[in-house]
Every structure is written in C-alpha cells, then in structure tokens.
Structure 1
Amino acid sequence: MIVVVGIGADGMSGLGAGARAELAGATLIYGAPRQLDLLDDTVGAQRRSWPSPLLPALEQLDPGGDGDVHVVASGDPLLHGIGATLIRRFGADAVRVLPQVSSVTLACARMGWSVQDTEVISLVTAPVHTAVRRGGRAVVLSRDGNSPVTLAALLADTGRGDSELAVLEQLGGPGERRRVASARDWADGAMGDIDDLNVVAVHYLPDDRRYQVLPDEAFAHDGQITKQGIRAVTLAALGPRPGERLWDVGSGSGSIAVEWCRSGAACTAVAFERSEQRRARIAANVVAFGVNVEVRGPAPAGFDGAAEPSVIFVGGGITEPGLLDACFDRLPAGGRLVANVVTAESEAAVIDRHSTLGGQLRRFQHYRGEPIGGFTGFRPAYPVTQWAVVKP
C-alpha cells in the first residue's frame, strides 16, 4: 500500500493523530524537499527526495511489497497533487490518502468566498495565459514567485487591469501573508518580492462572461474569420466533448479553436496557419480568452510532432493536394472531421470525398438586413457548404 500524507505549511503541528502515527511508523518517506523539511524528530524514517523528472521514479515504488510506502505531499494530495498521479498509475485500491486542508480551501476562507463557486486553476505545469478569464473568481495555484506578476501583466494587457488580485503566501504557516491590489498595480512590480509558496485569489474585472458563440468583433482578425452564425452551426457539427483535442486547419483568426476550448472542460486545440501575421493574431486571441491552443505553421507539414487530434476542422486550404488525405489519416478511429467551404473548387473536393467516404453534406445561407434607402432589404452572405464525417 502507498500511503500519501498531506502536510501544510504549519508542518507537523497541523497533522491529526492518524497522519502522525503513519509517519512515525514509516521506514521510508518520499516527497519534495519542502515537505520533507517539515517533518520533525518524531519521524525517524529515511527521507528520499523526488528526482526530476518525477514520473520515471514512480516506477520504483512497490505498493505490493513488504510494508507500506509513504509519501508526503502539500495540502490535499488529490487537488492537482501527486495523489491523483499515484492512483492513475497503481489504482485506487493500492493508494490511501490522508489529506490536509488544501491551499484552495484556505484561500477561500481568507477571502470569504464559497469554495463551490470558485474556479481552481493550476499553473504548476500549464502556461500562465490559461489563467486569464473574462470574469468570475478563481484561486490560481502558482508555479513560483513570478507567477502572480506574470498573470497580472497578462490581465492588464488584455483589458483586465482592474481585476483584484490577492496574493496569499505561506498559507496556514507562521509566515502567512496576504496582499491585495489591482492587476495593474501588481504588473508594475510595486508590491515587492513574492514567496515561491503562494496562491492567487483573483476577482476578474470587468465581468463580461458570455456562454454563447462570441460576436466577430470579440476577436482580433483581418476578415479571415468564420462568422458568428456559421461558427455556431460549426460547433454543433464538431460536437466538443470534455478533454477532446481539436485540430483547426487553416485557422485564420483561431476563432473556431477558441470557441472549441471555451465550450467544455479541458478541451484543447492545435491551430495550423500558413500566414505568420495570422499566427500572431491567433496567439493574441488565445491569450485574451485564456484557452489552451498550440499555434503551429501550415498544414500538413505542421502535423508532425503535434499531439493527436480527437476532431479535425478544415476551414482553409482544402484544395491543396493531399491535405484532406493527411487530415483523415491523422484521425483516430471514431474521430470526427468537419470541413467548411465557400468556393466551387473546394466544394467539388468535399463532394468528391463525400461520395467515397460518406458523412453529411449541409449548405448554409445567411442573410443580413441592411438599409435600402428608407427601407430594409436582406443582403446574402456567401453560402457555406459543410461536410461532416466520422472515421470508421
């Protein structure tokens, strides 16, 4: 059995009797140096720091051997912690977790926020921009002392400089400190040094959260964008599911990739775009909406080295020889492909593939009311033909 004991910044004094007894009876304890240093003289076990990289070292653990294997971890080991990693590797029956109060719970207690209404975002391994939001509240788990200022600068740069950031250091320990200022003030660096052991409680302002498909003007673009109405029916065809990854081929402004990531928990995307200028716009939109999108060069050359897709959307370049074949080849069995086209040549290409691969063909025609003298008439946009298919 692997026994994982959570320990807070207050060290042994914050542990219950059961956790103390486990550590007192251990013969070998694994953990990060910071957690191991919190153990006192009542713990006589050999202490072994995790190496880097961590995952190969877990293979050395033997939960079925003689005696238990002990691990110390920060706070609640099942909240973005090693407890979940060990359970995935060895199974729930081989791991017993003794949690301590998490840094998220402590942060919410200090802020007076209800835990269930507060988003939790980890920057321990994720890029800082994934903690950018358009409103609401979150507790952000920092990677180090630089994370709060970097996040504050991104918020200021994306129009969220009024957001309120409370940086909470050494939560639960004797050196606990809480400082509150606007994102703009934190970004200026006027608040001084920050301890590496910190979390950030963020109230994002202004709050302009929207759950519908976004208007076109919400994105930076040069006109090469899937328009809002077509974006809505395209998202319906793509059918995002939690944790899936989209390849957005011929991404333009990245609007489909951004909407995909906004639509469900843990959805990620890879955007492929030929134009360097448009890739820069995609990157700006990715930061503005705090989504997890990797931006790569043109398809299909950019496919090599990209994480495998669950779904592929083709919004441009469909007449390039070999592109559709390359996309279909990269899809796993059961994966979905959706292509939108507007020209006669690209429509011919998808109709040809539909004749051999099947799927569904749809055509959308949108009209917009515009003034005609003192009256109103309807001006048509280009019709869009859509092909959607599931790989057998």
Structure 2
Amino acid sequence: MTTYGLTEEHTMIADTVRSFVENEIYPHEELVERSGEVPQEIADEIKRKTIELGFYACNFPESAGGAGLNHLEFALVERELGRGSMALNHFFGRPQNILMACEGEQIERYRDPAIRGERMDALAMTEPGAGSDVRGMKCTAVRDGGDWVLNGTKHFISGADHADFIIVFVATGEDQTPRGPKKRITTFLVDRGTPGFTIRDGYKSVSHRGYKNMILDFDDCRLPDAQVLGEVDGGFAVMNEWLYATRITVATMSVGRARRVFDYALDYAAEREQFGQKIGKFQGISFQLADMITEIDAADLLTLAAADRLDKGLPANREIASAKLYASEMLSRVTDAAIQIHGGMGLMDDYPLERFWRDARVERIWDGTSEIQRHIISREMLRTLGA
C-alpha cells in the first residue's frame, strides 16, 4: 500500500474499511454475481454494521451528523471499498454531498434522514440523448399554476432501485447565446411514489452485476417549489460546488480494485509452476508484475494528491481529471495482465478475475469518459496560455 504522506490515522481508516470489506462484503460476492441481486437482509445487515462502525455518511460534516472526513480521508475509504462488489458496498452508505445544499424543511425531509441511513438517495442526470453533454438534456420542468411539471426520461441511474428519493437535474429554460441556445438547469428532489414518476428496470450490464442501472420516467409529474434544491436555474452552480469531485471516487475505487487483482496475480505467479520453476521467475511474468504495481502506485499517489489539493482549497479540476483518466485506464491494463498471467484459467469463473475484467470496462465511461477527461486536462492547460 502507498503510505507516502499518510498519517497513522489515515492508515487506521484504510485498514478499518479494508477489514470491513473483507469480512462483510467478500463473503456475499459470489451470490450477488450469480443472482444479479442483493438480498434485502444482506443489504440491511451491511448498512447496520456500517452505522455501528461509525462510517455511514462519513463524507458529511460532523455538524450535519456525519463522520466529518476530509477529501483525502474519504478517498481512502472509497479506495478500500473499491476492492469489493459495487452492488454490496453501495449499502456502506455515502449519500450525495449535494444534499448539503438542502435548506429549511428539506434538511429534515431529505438530508438528515439520508445521513442517518433512514432514507437512500440517487442522482439522475444522464438521458438517452444526453450523457457527457449535460446541456443537451431534454427532460424538462415548466411552470404550471405555481407548481413545476416534469416530463422526460433519465437512464443509467445507479442506485435508483433502492432509493427513497432521487436528486434530478432537468432543463427549466433556455438562453440564446452567441454560441447558440444554452439550457438552464434546475435540481429537484423527487420522492419515490410521486404521481407521474416511475422507476423501472434499466439495461442488463456486463459490469458490476447487482449494481443496477434504472430508467426514470416523468409523465406530467407535478412538484411544488419546496422540491427545488438550490436556486431555480441554478443546477450548474450546485453541480460545480458538490459533484465534480465524484470523479475521485472512480479513481480511488479503481486503485482499490487493481490492488486486489494484483494480489491474485502475484500469488498465482509465486505458486504456479511450469518448466520446473515458478512462473514468477520468468521475465515475461516478473516484468508484467513490476509494471502492474508501478502503475497502481502511480495512480494511487495521483488520486490522493488530487484529494489533498481539495482539502487545501487549491484548484484541482485538472488533477482530478488526470486521476480519473489514469486510474480507470490503469485498472483495465492491470486486470488484462492478471488474466494473461493466469492463462486460460483467468477467464474461468473459478476465479473472480473475469468479473474484475468485465467490471473494469465501465470505469472509463461513467462520471465522464476518458475522452472528456482528456478534454478537461488539455483545456485547463491551454486556458492559462489564453488559447
């Protein structure tokens, strides 16, 4: 494990969460992989034990009832959770930080119950025609008799199958700019069961079985002003303040999963014999192991450095994009190399490597594709030169 710059307390946080994942997540992974479902009793047990551990909603400040971890500490938590099944560690409970934008009655209805583990949330931005292009969304909300009426569809919404309410971004107007029409976006809090709002099964993904993506349909769904999170037409301000650091989560989880994959490869190379010796002694294998651990450590340090910049109040957009880009692509290379080291057995379901290989693919897509991250990185550099 990379320890550069980490304190004893940081190490304790990482060790505690890793132990939890090994004892409470690993034993249920095969069942979830086979069935594609997380039994409710297992979900409830993981949530209960997380609360007892004091880590539920650890990404929220102590003043709001959370554990008050900073960005670096939370990155360590997510890194260790990345070792386990996404479907199961979902119930470790990390509500969206955007709920800190709740005001008035919203705090009692949404934020605080989410922090206590009494209600679960999900975030909805992506649409069939609007993924990376957030301003291209067609899901709209219009004024009608003092209320808002929502119409449209969201898809690829993770966690919506278990959510009690959804944080939804929709278009509430349009401005004409020199570059063409520009959507105004507003954030709404929508309860499950609201008339005109339907949550249905999404697509069957090869990545992260049991961690389902759902489709949300809004058909004349009527909401009062009390359901607006933040300011009307202020959705982008809410996103920029609370959501851009979610890319660190993808990076840290990629590092955690890569370390688990590497351990399988290292153990196998030390045990498997061919031509009268351990395969780890062959340069073709030993050099792969050297490259794998070097890339993992590099991704780890890149990610923790980005989180540390946030804690210091420094600009971190480029650094976060670099971490997400490198760590997610590193995970793909490491899982592929691990399978190569295992040979044909690596593709058999006797080992979890084929699962890690499938799971790795989506990391380069969600929370901003690799292409989007490269765009962010290059744009940040060129802007300083006026280009």
Instruction: Compute the TM-score of the two structures, normalised by the length of structure 1.
Output: 0.22
Name the one with the larger strand percent.
1
Greater relative contact order (Cα < 8 A, sep 6+) = 2
Larger radius of gyration: 1
Instruction: Compute the TM-score of the two structures, normalised by the length of structure 2.
Output: 0.23
